A and B are shown apart, each in its own frame.
Chain A
Amino acid sequence: MADKLNSMRLLDRQRITYTVHENDPAAPDAVAVAAAIGVPAAQVFKTLVVLGAGARPALAMVPADCQLDLKRLAVVAGVKRFDMAPHAEAERLTGLRVGGIGALALTAKRWPSYLDESALMHPIIYVNAGQRGVMIGIAPSDLVRVVGAIIGAIAAPVSSSL
């Protein structure tokens, strides 16, 4: 069991129930993480850092087996456009390693967060705790409350957008 991460302390403070799931930090992507912790990929949400023109960075959470639809995200956020932050930039901005970026670990930054609406279909979803190989299982309603996330249809199936 890893040491308590800041995200877990935050949830403890707010007395929110969560579960911790550890997996091999070398997992190549979120789908592999889902397989490693033994839950459907649709319930594992990856957190992506996006940049808008002049605005603060924003966080977008979409299911592991989907990709982020930047256009839909821009519509939901009411901005002109968003771009994915390059890996190095995402790591510099968040102070976390790619593969270990999670909105729960970044609440102090007060960046706008967006959660794909498919999260509401599941009683529990899994998001990164802020460290590669550590996932947190949490009720979507709690995640929305803690992170102040805005819900919208921001995910697209991987196949259709290629």
Chain B
Amino acid sequence: MKHAVLWLKQWLWLPLAPWHRVALLLLGVVFASAAIALAFGSGWWLAALAGLGGISVALAWYSWHERAQREELQRHLVDLERELIEARAAATVAMRAKSAFLANMSHELRTPLNTIIGYSELLHEDAQEGALSPEQAITRLQRIREAAGQLLSLINDVLDLARLEAGEVVVSRERWPLGLLIDEVQTAIAPLANMHSNRLSIDLAVDPATIIEVDRAKVRQILLHLLQNAVKFTRQGEIRLAVAIRDAGEGPAVLSLSVSDTGIGMSREQLDVLFEPFVRFDEALTQRHSGAGISLAIAQRLCMVMGGTIAATSQPGKGATFLVTIPLVAARAPLAIAVNEQ
């Protein structure tokens, strides 16, 4: 009886919808009737007790069900809230990254564009006034050309990075002699290295005639980015490229490339964000060393696309070493990237 009253109280107190109360009552009555029918002849008190018992059971079931539902809803709400907070934080991070990108790009694009505009205006004015000597014209045109080249390479880099991030890069497989790559890279880098009075040495641990099967354009691009980076931060030092092919036990053979320099090096914190695009470390440095800080990001993503790895070790003032490994056969490409058999 006490229980029944308790349940009844709870039932009245519960914020139930009217049709719920009616349904519950009906359920109780059905139970009660069944009990009366069964207990007919056993005395009124047993029938009444059975009826009340029926109502109690119905209420107990309902209240348990309701509570379980409410708890489930509560849990769901908490989950949703957490997801919302996470999504919002991610969106803010993305917006900050976009803002940093915009700010850097506008700066990086404006610098060569201003050079082009400035020198062409000077040329125009002096030519109109007839005060232009051929030497002056040549120097200014050279400056314009350099700035335009800088702008073009920046735009190419940004587009490359965008394509890599969007997973739109196709890895092709072709067979070519390793020596070919080394010649190409040396031709492209040697003049740059000499400009800063650096020595460029290439340490080839394999026969240059060795035929390897890997995307040549991408390997070349990775090496150029790494070597250009090394040249950029090294003065009167040494830049060393070491090329080897290693057997990786059970897996495919690996092309191992190592680019080391004796330049200014990097701190632990700088190494941590090294492959993040648009991170440039030191304003005092970056004023001397132009660039949007995306070449290493491109190199890293190119390695990943080919199923390879890239790592860097460095100490401030003691140069840096970049180690790249690229599997030579059956490159493990991410799902988004189609492998184009040639």
Contacts and interface: CB of A to CB of B under 8 A. Distances in A.
Contacts of B110: 123
A53 B96 CA distance: 22
A148 B92 CA distance: 10
Interface of B: 88, 91-92, 95-96, 98-100, 102-104, 106-107, 110, 282-284, 287
A145 B88 contact: no
A51 interface: no
A141 B106 contact: yes
A17 B99 contact: no
* Interface of A (DSSP majority class): mixed
10 contacts: A15-B283, A17-B287, A78-B91, A121-B106, A123-B107, A140-B107, A144-B99, A144-B100, A145-B100, A151-B98
A74 interface: no
Contacts of A151: 98-99, 102-103
Contacts of B287: 17
Interface residues of A, number: 23
Nearest to A145: B100
The 5 closest A-B pairs by CB, nearest first: A141-B103, A144-B103, A151-B99, A120-B106, A141-B107
B283 A78 contact: no
Contact of A15 (B102, B107, B282): B282
A150 B93 CA distance: 9
B279 to A, nearest CB: 9
Interface string A5-32: 0000000001111000000000000000
A90 B55 CA distance: 62
Contacts of B96: 148-150
Contact of A141 (B88, B92, B104, B282): B104
Given A78-B91, A115-B99, A150-B96, A15 B106 contact: no
A96 interface: no
Contacts of A115: 99
Nearest to A141: B103
* Interface of B (DSSP majority class): helix
Nearest to B94: A150
B109 to A, nearest CB: 10
A148 B96 CA distance: 6
Interface string A118-139: 0111010000000000000001
A119 B95 CA distance: 17
A126 to B, nearest CB: 16
A152 B281 CA distance: 25
A22 B216 CA distance: 57
A141 B103 CA distance: 4
A69 interface: no
A112 interface: yes
A145 B280 CA distance: 10
A143 B95 CA distance: 15
B283 A17 contact: yes
A117 B105 CA distance: 13
Contacts of B103: 119-120, 140-141, 143-145, 151
A91 interface: no
A14 B284 CA distance: 10
A148 B103 CA distance: 11
A149 B99 CA distance: 7
Given A120-B106, A140-B107, A17 B100 contact: no
Contact of A142 (B91, B92, B95, B283): B283
Contact of A17 (B106, B107, B284): B284
A120 B102 CA distance: 8
B95 A150 contact: yes
A150 B94 CA distance: 10
Contacts of A142: 283
Given A120-B102, A141-B103, A141-B107, 10 more contacts: A14-B283, A120-B106, A123-B110, A140-B106, A140-B107, A141-B100, A143-B103, A144-B99, A149-B99, A150-B99
